[in-house]
Amino acid sequence: MPTPPTNEPTRVASIMLSWHSLDLVSCTTLQTLWAGYGHICALTARATTAEAAEHLGKLCGVDSKRTAGSTFPLILKLISPPRKAAGKEDEGHLRKMLSYEVEQYFYSDVVPRLGDDIAVAKCLASTRDMHGKQGEEELRGLMATIMVDLRPAFPVAGEKRSVLSRVQVYGALDWLARFHSRSWGLLSDDRRLDGYVLPPLEEAKRRREQGKTETGNALWLNGGYTYLATRRKEYASLVEDTDSEWSDILCTAPNGSSQSVAEMAALLLTPCGRQMESFIHGDVKSENLFTTTKGDEVAFFDFQYVGLGLGVCDLAKLFTCSVPLKMLVDDEDDLLPEQLEMCEGERALLEHYHRMLLQDKGERWYDWETFVRHWETALVDWCRFQASWGFWGNTEWLEARVGSIVRDQEWREWLLRSLSS
């Protein structure tokens, strides 16, 4: 029987499992990654030694003692991108490849420091650490990570572009608050920013100039994938789109500024070393989480866009894409006005998150007024992306909220004042 090609998931999984005295029992493809960039597979691995069983049992959070012969559910994420023709750099391709590097670094180097109370898949093996190991030559050019399967503990999968239940929403807020606040302790006191991954084209240029070819060792400087520095083409299209009301509202410079409202909002959200900045997930939506059967505990996955930012940027996408409208407005049956101030439901969710976020810090670390201004700015920035890309989710709520925010003279003055200080 011929040996499968190296980028075959079964072969990759077998090689990497052997590093930990594990045999591959089964490999089932769960998903093909966007544009043919690889696969996500469910694995069953069998421990060949008692030591391997004990190690993997601890990683999987199994209480009972495991012995040689015990099996464990795992996940393989294998990146084997399609070949790209030589020539002009493709920003989308660069973004994807850098995002997979960032995610692999997150699982292998950041997750072990988060603690067990933040539900994230633990990493068993990674091609980041394959130097000198069996099969290194075969795996060269691939990017693969084997991690714990979250589904036994969190069996309920979020659906694509669906809303969460009330209990799940609060579970997601609790997870995000813990993740954001825990990352404060992982950031260096001097908040140096020079080691993080830059926007795709800038990062590619930096690596060329430094002659660097190896995989990166950092998270994104700016978490998420919608921030303006990496969406200039879409923004330019919005500027020229005279049929969109948001072209005039977001792309015009107000009196006293050389920048548009969208550009000022993006600049305000750009990481610059402020104490309330944290790691953010970068792609918070129902599709990227599992919950317990009750829904009160949540585990997020898909950390391709994890990086620095303000936690409210995660909330902006969550509220727009996955929170039921009835939890945000006073009466979901009423037609929403063109301009909508914060309703009690929205405020209750924000207050819950803010309280959880500051459990170990206190109000002075991130006062409510500043937090709300950041939240409003994150909504404006998220609306800019949706207006240039396409609206989905609680569209009417988002547009009504941003319609109110950008016309709020106090917010505009605060934004100008914050950027000039």
Specify whether 232 is located in the same domain as 337. Answer: yes
In a domain, 169, yes or no: no
Strands in 120-277 per DSSP E: 123-126, 143-148, 156-157
Specify whether 127 is located in the same domain as 199. Answer: no
In a domain, 193, yes or no: yes
Give the torsion through C-alpha atoms of 323, 324, 327, 333, to 10 deg. 150
> Which of 377, 385, 370, 384 minimizes the C-alpha distance to 405?
377
The span from the CA of 158 to the CA of 163, in Å, is: 8
Of 59-68, 123-132, 318-327, the range with the lowest mean pLDDT is: 59-68
Specify whether 106 is located in the same domain as 244. Answer: no
| Structure tokens, 323 | 């929170």
Average the pLDDT over 360-365 and give the result.
91
Specify whether 82 is located in the same domain as 223. Answer: no
Average the pLDDT over 370-386 and give the result.
98
- Sequential DSSP letters for 187-234: S-TT---TTSBPPHHHHHHHHHHHT--SPP-S-BSS-SS--GGG-HHH
Tell me what percent of the residues of the chain surpass a pLDDT of 70.
96
Specify whether 139 is located in the same domain as 183. Answer: no
Long-range (24+ apart) CB contacts under 8 A made by 59-68 are 59/122, 59/124, 59/148, 60/122, 60/148, 61/116, 61/148, 61/153
Specify whether 121 is located in the same domain as 21. Answer: yes
Last residue of a domain, one of 133, 148, 163: 148
Average the pLDDT over 12-32 and give the result.
97
In a domain, 3, yes or no: no
**Which residues are paired to 24 by β-bridges?**
45
In a domain, 166, yes or no: no
Q: Which domain holds residue 401?
A: 174-420
* pLDDT tens profile 298-310: 999 999 999 999 9
CA atoms within 13 A on the CB side of 362: 1
Specify whether 347 is located in the same domain as 391. Answer: yes
Specify whether 218 is located in the same domain as 123. Answer: no
User: What angle, rounded to 10 degrees, do the helices at 312-321 and 368-389 form?
Assistant: 50
| Structure tokens, 281 | 């997930």
pTM of the model: 0.94
In a domain, 165, yes or no: no
Specify whether 129 is located in the same domain as 182. Answer: no
Please tell me the predicted confidence (pLDDT) of residue 192. Answer: 85
Specify whether 141 is located in the same domain as 255. Answer: no
Top-confidence residue, 65 or 140: 140
* pLDDT tens profile 274-305: 999 999 999 999 999 999 999 999 999 999 99
Last residue of a domain, one of 100, 132, 148: 148
Average the pLDDT over 379-393 and give the result.
96
Give the torsion through C-alpha atoms of 408, 409, 415, 419, to 10 deg. 160
* pLDDT tens profile 105-164: 999 999 999 999 999 999 999 999 998 899 999 998 899 999 999 999 999 999 876 799
In a domain, 163, yes or no: no
> Which of 115, 33, 120, 48 minimizes the C-alpha distance to 78?
33
In a domain, 162, yes or no: no
In a domain, 120, yes or no: yes
Please tell me the predicted confidence (pLDDT) of residue 307. Answer: 98
Number of domains in the chain: 2
* pLDDT tens profile 192-248: 898 899 999 999 999 999 888 777 789 999 999 999 999 999 999 999 999 999 999
Please tell me the predicted confidence (pLDDT) of residue 161. Answer: 66
Looking up residue 391, the CATH number of its domain turns out to be 3.90.1200
Average the pLDDT over 373-389 and give the result.
98
Specify whether 91 is located in the same domain as 193. Answer: no
CB atoms within 10 A of CB 396: 16
Instruction: Specify whether the CB–CB gap between 107 and 302 falls below 8 A.
Output: no
Specify whether 374 is located in the same domain as 269. Answer: yes
Give the torsion through C-alpha atoms of 358, 359, 364, 366, to 10 deg. 0
Please tell me the predicted confidence (pLDDT) of residue 1. Answer: 45
